[in-house]
Structure 1
């Protein structure tokens, strides 16, 4: 249930059969891309993504991590990479079962939105060996994300803005990319709205279930930089019956530059085998 509540199924759900929810009036083939579109994309086990930000480090949304057991491997550029340790941000909190139960009973989940917005949904993964066949993505250093056009990628659930997508999956299929205009950026989060045509961008879209941790990229001087990672979305109405991914819904993403100091501090620490915060 935690994955359902994080980018898709209940009201503020962070999607944790295809990828990227697209315009209803544009051919799906225009959204599909090969892995070479973003080689630094990391596939978490089962569903969810991350991004290679240094030869031995992956950044992801904390809720993509396995709920039970250790993370043993991730996949980058089609190859399994062994994990040495995982570092979860100390401000990350798992969703209380009480809030889940209340939302399941009533269909109202506003306090889930409040809870998700107040946490630090970030984790770093140190690999046992440096990745030598993929160039890491650089982090966007600006604070002017609002108003910028972002490129988003993922292999999670798909559908169209007219109907949304099924909250029950499948949540891992083909790679797609889409674009959206960032509408707000402050503190931990940057967000965008899935606009309906004709206001939408030519290849407008949003991340779907299974795209949590997926990259939100901003282009600067011809280079796509990592500005955000998929986290959660706001689904209006009864969260038990509403479909995620419809036009008008807001998707919020981890604002990566907000965590730059923490990221650099953790990566500079001596290698160790235990997880730290």
Structure 2
């Protein structure tokens, strides 16, 4: 039973990334084709990333860390073989006793404190460069107050009910928008507002597509300000439906990790996570 707990937590209290939408907006308005943002990458099973250099995909560490192997990722609809995965050396998985204590007590404060102190970011190096898709650039500066674009293939639903906590966590590709309300240190955050306060295509992340991009418009270009990571839910995340109005979602603030990303891509050995990280 203990072995089953951590993957469950990744799907309920921590992982995120699809699109949950307003109750009064038709689902078809959120559907999108991969050609609308071909730099989006699909990780096997569930999870996303974003192409930021011809041979490099940026993602959340936990989106690849739970899988036995990530041999192939799909970029712009085309599969590419993976050469290696570089996990940030500051990433930490929560100890099982911390998870067990939270489940038993229903108090997840210590668990969330542990997760917010972790560097949940990783890079996937491809064996060959992607030549027909332009990499997305990393957004410079603060995203605070900016309207951001979200996308993913994970679980979906309506804000009044959320979505089922146990999937399905890979559905059709959708997109939506929200406004960044916090941006500091490792994280950027936004809250899923209910109508009438919501944006016309307001959306929230759902389970199953962590690692997807959180994009800011710079002229006609969409740049990567964040990587979808986790959310705070009201109540016990083991049995609470994610994606309801009022929930706050958090993404990795990519600018915070620009130096590590650039050193890793440039081949700086000091940026590579040690074995077992």
TM-score by length of 1: 0.92
Structure number with the higher helix fraction is: 2
Alpha-carbon distance in 2 for matches of 1:155, 1:99: 30
Q: Which residue in the other structure is 1:227 paired with?
A: 225
Deviates more, 1:261-270 or 1:23-32: 261-270
Shift of the alpha carbon at 1:2?
3.5
* One of 254, 257, 268 as aligned partner of 2:255: 257
1:208 aligns with 2:209: no
Q: Tell which deviates more after alignment, 228-237 or 70-79.
A: 70-79
Residue 15 of structure 2 corresponds to 14
Instruction: Give the root-mean-square deviation of aligned CA atoms.
Output: 1.7
Number of aligned residues: 269
Q: Which residue of 1 aligns with 2:6?
A: 2
> 1:110 aligns to what?
109
- The question of whether the paired residues in 1 share the 8 Å contact of 2:48 and 2:212 is answered with yes
2:125 corresponds in structure 1 to: 126
- Asked whether the equivalents of residues 7 and 66 of structure 2 are also in contact (C-alpha less than 8 Å), the reply is no
1:107 CA displacement: 2.5
- Indicate the residue corresponding to 1:246 in structure 2: 244
User: What is the CA distance between 1:225 and its match in structure 2?
Assistant: 0.4
Deviation at 1:111, TM superposition (A): 1.3
What's the counterpart of residue 28 of structure 1? 27
CA shift, 1:66, in A, is 4.4
Match of 2:164 in 1: 166
Shift of the 172–68 alpha-carbon distance from structure 1 to 2, 3 Å rule, reads closer
Structure 1 residue 69 displacement after superposition: 3.2
User: After the TM superposition, which of the residue ranges 57-66 and 179-188 deviates more from structure 2?
Assistant: 57-66
**Structure 2 counterpart SS, 1:156:** coil
Question: Take 1:71 and 1:211, find their aligned partners in 2: how far apart are those partners?
Answer: 15
Find the counterpart in structure 1 of residue 177 from structure 2. Answer: 179
Partner deviation per Cα, 1:49-104 (whole Å, 9 max, x = no partner): 00000000010000011435332111112221111111110100012111221222
Residues 103, 239 of structure 1: 8 Å contact kept: no
Secondary structure of 2:98's match? Answer: helix
1:36 deviates by: 1.1
Partner of 1:45: 44
| Aligned-pair CA distance for 1:275 | 6.4
TM-score (normalizing by structure 2):
0.92
C-alpha separation between the residues in 2 aligned to 1:267 and 1:150? Answer: 26
Partner of 2:265: 267
* Structure 1 residue ranges without an equivalent (≥5): none
Shift of 1:26: 0.6
Work out whether residues 185 and 256 of structure 2, in 8 Å CA contact, stay in contact via their aligned partners in 1. Answer: yes
